Amino acid sequence: MNLDPAISTPTPIGEHALSRVVLRGGIAVLMVSALAIMGIILTQRRALAGQAEARRRALEAGPLVNSLVMGEGATLGDPMVQGEALPFLSTTLYARASGFVKEIRVDKGSVVRKGQLLAVIEGREMDQDLAALKADAENKTRNAERATDLLKDKLISAKDAEQAQADARMAESRLSSLGISRDYQAVRAPFDGVVTQRFVDPGAMVQNASASTNVQPLVTVAQVDRLRVTFYLDQNLAKRVKTGDPVRILPDQNPAQAQPGRIARLAGALDPRTRTLTAEVDLDNRQGLFLPGGAVLVLLGEPVQAGFTLPLEAVAPRQGKPTALVVDGTSHTHVRPLMLGEDNGQRVRVLKGLQTGERVVLNPPPGLGDGSLVRLAGPGK
């Protein structure tokens, strides 16, 4: 056995060197990671500290608020409601004599004049009845004349002569009545207008509308050069308008074509179902700007009052009374009691309590009062 150290097997030098390199590299990585983590922690601490400082300064400076500067001459704007432009007159014509439609002289869109012949009803039975009644009337008239002569010669009694006269008058009355009914065979326009609907063609059988309820109409005639604009006012608006008040009617929401008018009629009471008041305006439509039956917008004109108007979100009730918060030059707020007028649902008229040029807080946060510090969010409106 060889115990000489000089001849024992040595550890390779390369393996020791590699181990030292790996160890040193691991230590370096750990040191770099630790430094990076420390840097991140320090950065986060600085950011949190900055945020806390910003919050502290914001609290010291007061809440961020929107505001506006009061100016003179503001108006509420005219209340606007939707309405309907209807023909001023519109009627559906029916036959007043039974028979066949011999002629129909108009169609949809035909312009007609009052009294113009629109349709002719042919009633053969009526013609036969008319001939019979005419012959009967002529016969009884001759009998009455003969009775008068006989009475003069005292050949008949006065009573018989009077009966002959009465029979003649009755026959003439029946003939006249049937003659009037025969005039019903001619259907004429009741007023100037336009035919908007036609329901029958030549040859159609029609019935006397006065003798039946289930009958076929002939035509519908409407006056379209004059319209009846109908609209509905809620309870607040109903209290503020009266007959004769000026309005403007807009076709198709086009302000450039607004036509002036005045309220012609107001219903005497609110509709119990809708709680609205029906109003009507008579509108000249000779230029044809408005389509009969179409929707329109109605602007209710009101006299312009002096004073300011304020968005409703700027009004802050305090102890049951309206107030506003005014911001002074040092960004401190002051409570101002207000005297208010009418509103249109978005703005309200301020009669007393504010001055021109004062800045008013919109949607004031809870807790603001006299002496509160605020920050203004951009320029006033």
Whether the pLDDT of residue 362 is over 70: the answer is: yes
In the chain, what percentage of residues exceed pLDDT 70? 78
Distance CA 71, CA 359 (A): 10
Q: What is the pLDDT of residue 16?
A: 59
What pLDDT is recorded for position 40?
81
CA distances (Å), 279 to each of 46, 56, 82, 247, 344, in order?
70, 60, 11, 11, 19
The better pLDDT of the pair 74, 183 is held by 183
Q: Looking at the DSSP assignment, which residues form a beta bridge with residue 137?
A: none
Q: How far apart are CA 304 and CA 279, in angstroms?
A: 22
More confident residue, 304 or 271: 271
Instruction: Give the helix/strand (H/E) hosting 263.
Output: strand 259-266
Q: Which two tokens stand for residue 363?
A: 């949607």
pTM above 0.75, yes or no: no
Instruction: Tally helices (H) and strands (E) across the chain.
Output: 4, 21
What value does the mean pLDDT take over residues 349-360?
86
pLDDT band at 5, cuts 50/70/90? very low
pLDDT at 303: 42
Task: Kindly tell me if the per-residue pLDDT of 293 is higher than 50.
Answer: yes
Predicted pLDDT of residue 3 = 47
Let me know: does 83 contact 252? Beta carbons within 8 Å. no
Q: How many CB atoms lie within 10 A of CB 237?
A: 17
- Could you tell me the two tokens for 212? 């039946």
Measured distance CA(214)–CA(231) in Å, rounded:
33
Q: Give the phi and the psi of residue 210 in degrees, each rounded to 5.
A: -75, -15
The 10 Å Cβ neighbour count of residue 320 is 5
What pLDDT shows up at residue 355? 85
**Cα separation, 91 vs 189, whole angstroms:** 10
For the chain, the average pLDDT equals 82
State the Cα–Cα distance between residues 270 and 273, nearest whole angstrom: 9
C-alpha distances (whole Å) from 282 to each of 207, 252, 259, 341 are: 36, 18, 11, 31
Q: Are 328 and 121 in contact (CB under 8 A)?
A: no
Among 168-177, 188-197, 206-215, 372-381, the range of highest mean pLDDT: 188-197
Tell me, what's the pLDDT at 194?
97
DSSP state of 373: B
Report how far residue 223's alpha carbon sits from residue 90's, in angstroms, rounded to the nearest whole number: 6
Confidence bin at 54 (pLDDT 50/70/90): low
Q: Which helix (H) or strand (E) holds 310?
A: strand 308-311
Q: Where are the alpha helices (DSSP H) in the chain?
A: 13-61, 124-152, 158-183, 235-238
